[in-house]
Structure 1
Amino acid sequence: MSRPLAGPQTLLRVLNGRAILESLANEGAQTRTDLMHATGLSRTAVTQVLRMLETAGAVAPAGIDRGSRGPAATRVGLHPELGFAAAIHVDHRAAHVVLVDATGAVRAEKHAPFPPRADRGAHIAELVDACRADARGPLHLAVVGVPGIVTTDGSIRDEQGPDGGAFRSALAHRLGCPVRIENDVNLAALAEFTSGNGGDLASFSLLLLDGGLGAGTVIDGAVHRGASGVAGEVTYLPQSPLPIGAPVINDQVVADLALAGGLDPTAPLDVHLEAAAQGDEASLHMVAEIGRRLAIVAGTIGLVLDPEAFILSGQAAHPLLADAVRRVGEEYAPRLPLRFVESTFGPEGALVGAVGEAASALRETLFDRILAPPGATPR
């Protein structure tokens, strides 16, 4: 009699194991009966897979379920010492670090401004170390959101020029784990798609105003990054009567508009928005001009991509500025319908997106490692 093939058995073990691990990651600790209903597996299959996962150190008992009828049943959950991923948001002023586990739960969090002339990588590594002191366990990977153009190989190109991947390599060396670099606006768009106002949209563009202006576009469930990472760099879109190559809106433009209106050119946009909310006429005119520029950027994107909606994020979501954008959008509506909605997460969008991506990548890394056949090298 010929021996049965091992391949299908191994594949079934991997598929069943992944189904249970995904269910525990998404829903938390469960009983065997819960897992049967969640995965469609038989009680025997669930028991066999849990025994295999427990031997691998992937799951552990997680208390007793006393809320259901019948005898109390033991819950099982992902092992609390499987480790973490770091979700990191870096802007021009500060770094925000969050450690997440495979369920997506936040286990530690630190935020601090960059000291003068500080090395960004060293500062981030210090924050990660401080988080790991609060949540002990191995660090498997990091997802970092940064302003600027991010290429497919993790290189960053910003106002200081291309870095050739130096930041990613240096941070990976300091953290001792793989590091993935993402554009911060794209991460904010992912956050809206997965758990925000973009969830019900087949396509949208997120316009994030925070010092500068960037766009993150989701089409059919995927972020459009472009061939070289340039997609969404809308700050320099041509816009009459601005000269070619002039920024549409950034901190310097805010200062110039303030000076032209007799306002304090050293004040940040938030101050001018607050003054406008108090009825200051010059500030209201300034907000109207910024709203006009944002609406024209949206119209330009709309003529090319025609997304279902534009999500206003960061300072663009301020009620006065959002109203100014909508007023201009209504003027164009007969020729080019533009729909605007506010962001769910505001200034935290990039970090929320990094948390979601870090948790997802951590699950893939851990589950591949746990379910790899003996002697195989996980991806």
Structure 2
Amino acid sequence: MSQVTETPSSPVGRERSREVKRAAVLSAARSARTLSRVELSEMTGLSPATLTPLVRDLIAEGYLVERGVAATRTGRPRTLLEFDPRVELVAAVSLAPDGVSCQIADGHGELVASGHRNLDGDAVDIIADVVEDVAAEHLTHLRGVAVAVPGISYKGKVRLAPYVGVVEKRSVGKQLGKRLGVPVVVDNDVNLMVVGEHTAGAARGSDDVMLFHFAEGVGAGLVLDGHVRRGSSGGAGEVGFFPTDGAMGDAGVGSFEARWSARAIADVLAAAGHEPAAQSPVATLVAAARKDEELARYRDEVLAAWGRLVVSCICVVDPGLVLLSGSVADLDEHSFATLEAIVTQGAPSPTKIRRAELGGEAVLHGAVSSALSAAGLLARTAG
């Protein structure tokens, strides 16, 4: 914990000096959660005389709450101060073809409220509306927002998100920030999935991991040395554009995802007379393949294509750990073992293959973490 040096001849103005000291007190209280004034003084380097008015103001504003007295072996009992995480809230937003999901979390990442709205109009307006509605009476405590989009995002601008109606560049982050009045992070949904898994899921403790998400589209998120890698223009991980049999993608849809995504699988099943279960064409394929030899061959083709994609990426970045997300969750154990064997046999370097743990919650976990970082409420551990 950094300390503030108090000198009588500070080069900054009085107001700026107070802001720095206030920020140091908040940072210490946020980190410790519960502490005494003596401990607060030790952590910040501020004298009791300086701390007293700052603590008094923060109690009046609701940041700090007095929580009784802590017994000590020597000296007078110390009144404990507790930081209230609900005075600093963030919004995690997931933009998907079926609508906009929003979760409001406090400064400790605990869920406060959630909501969903259909995507039946302008995406930016709908995102802003749902954040304001879900935050409701807590809106004045909102400190940051993170938005997950199924497309390329770079410096708040979104492009190539055809499934939510965005192909050309659009300054989603700037427009939302202007309306909501807080820092806004806009990132690819799979990037946020890998942040979520890295923070609270199957990649905890791993500094190098690549997550592949097979769904309506196909994408990947990459963490190397503990940091998300987005590329020079935000396009890292767009593996849906991996060339298939020499074919290149067009109209914002890559050739690989056009052939091997869950949507493509659903089309093949429909042509074969099998109506996919709701949002689960891979589960339908696995079940049908047990009785239909032609679909069994097609299932094996899907697994081989997915495996080749993963191996190709391992050859380039050597992540050590690969997480498989999305439609992979609908594979039975035999099919998953087949895919795992394809990857482990084809990869040039030792690689662990695991299913992602968080499912649909991964993107929101990652968005909460990113929003906390954007608001300066959390140390950046994932880029």
* SS of residue paired to 1:235: helix
Q: Give per-residue Cα distances to partners, 1:7-58, cap 9 Å, x unaligned.
A: 4999998887655433432442333466578x4x67x747743642443547
Q: Distance in 2 between matches of 1:29 and 1:231?
A: 41
Q: Distance in 2 between matches of 1:68 and 1:291?
A: 63
Q: 2:51 aligns with which of 49, 52, 55?
A: 49
Q: Which residue of 2 aligns with 1:292?
A: 304
Check whether the contact 1:29–1:62 (CA below 8 A) recurs between aligned residues: no
How far 1:89 moved relative to its partner? 1.0
Q: Distance in 2 between matches of 1:257 and 1:67?
A: 70
* SS of residue paired to 1:231: coil
Check whether the contact 1:185–1:215 (CA below 8 A) recurs between aligned residues: yes
How far 1:118 moved relative to its partner? 2.5
Check whether the contact 2:211–2:222 (CA below 8 A) recurs between aligned residues: yes
Check whether the contact 2:282–2:331 (CA below 8 A) recurs between aligned residues: no
Is 2:184 the partner of 1:179? yes
Q: Distance in 1 between matches of 2:280 and 2:71?
A: 50
Is 2:38 the partner of 1:30? no
Check whether the contact 1:255–1:267 (CA below 8 A) recurs between aligned residues: no
Give the superposed CA RMSD.
3.6
Check whether the contact 1:98–1:110 (CA below 8 A) recurs between aligned residues: yes
Q: Which residue of 2 aligns with 1:112?
A: 117
Tell me: CA distance 1:337–1:79, structure 2 relative to 1, closer, same or farther (3 Å): closer
How far 1:102 moved relative to its partner? 2.9
* SS of residue paired to 2:121: coil
Is 2:65 the partner of 1:61? yes
Tell me: CA distance 1:199–1:54, structure 2 relative to 1, closer, same or farther (3 Å): farther
Which stretch of the first structure deviates more once superposed, 348-357 or 138-147?
A: 138-147
How far 1:93 moved relative to its partner? 0.9
Q: Distance in 2 between matches of 1:36 and 1:344?
A: 41
How far 1:62 moved relative to its partner? 3.7
Q: 2:200 aligns with which of 195, 199, 221?
A: 195
Q: 2:321 aligns with which of 282, 305, 309?
A: 309
Q: Give per-residue Cα distances to partners, 1:69-91, cap 9 Å, x unaligned.
A: 78764332335674432211111
Is 2:115 the partner of 1:97? no
Q: Please, what TM-score do these two structures have when normalized by structure 2?
A: 0.78
Is 2:143 the partner of 1:140? yes
How far 1:339 moved relative to its partner? 2.0
- Report the count of equivalent residues: 355
Q: Which residue of 1 aligns with 2:365?
A: 352
Q: Which residue of 1 aligns with 2:286?
A: 276
Check whether the contact 1:204–1:218 (CA below 8 A) recurs between aligned residues: yes
Q: Which residue of 2 aligns with 1:326?
A: 340
Check whether the contact 1:143–1:180 (CA below 8 A) recurs between aligned residues: yes
Tell me: CA distance 1:138–1:12, structure 2 relative to 1, closer, same or farther (3 Å): closer
Q: Distance in 2 between matches of 1:32 and 1:168?
A: 39
Check whether the contact 1:204–1:217 (CA below 8 A) recurs between aligned residues: yes
Tell me: CA distance 1:50–1:336, structure 2 relative to 1, closer, same or farther (3 Å): same
Q: Please, what TM-score do these two structures have when normalized by structure 1?
A: 0.78
Q: Distance in 1 between matches of 2:265 and 2:110?
A: 38
Tell me: CA distance 1:79–1:309, structure 2 relative to 1, closer, same or farther (3 Å): closer
Check whether the contact 2:282–2:327 (CA below 8 A) recurs between aligned residues: no
* SS of residue paired to 1:102: coil
Q: Distance in 2 between matches of 1:332 and 1:326?
A: 10
Tell me: CA distance 1:69–1:223, structure 2 relative to 1, closer, same or farther (3 Å): same
* SS of residue paired to 1:98: strand
Is 2:160 the partner of 1:150? no
Is 2:274 the partner of 1:264? yes
Is 2:265 the partner of 1:254? yes
Q: 1:75 aligns with which of 53, 77, 80?
A: 80
Check whether the contact 2:184–2:374 (CA below 8 A) recurs between aligned residues: no
Q: Which residue of 1 aligns with 2:4?
A: none
Q: Which residue of 2 aligns with 1:214?
A: 219
Specify the code of the residue in structure 1 equivalent to 2:344. E
Q: 2:351 aligns with which of 338, 350, 357?
A: 338
Q: Distance in 1 between matches of 2:201 and 2:194?
A: 9
Q: Which residue of 1 aligns with 2:3?
A: none
Structure 2: tracts of 5 or more residues without a match: 1-6, 250-254, 379-383
Q: Distance in 2 between matches of 1:188 and 1:101?
A: 20
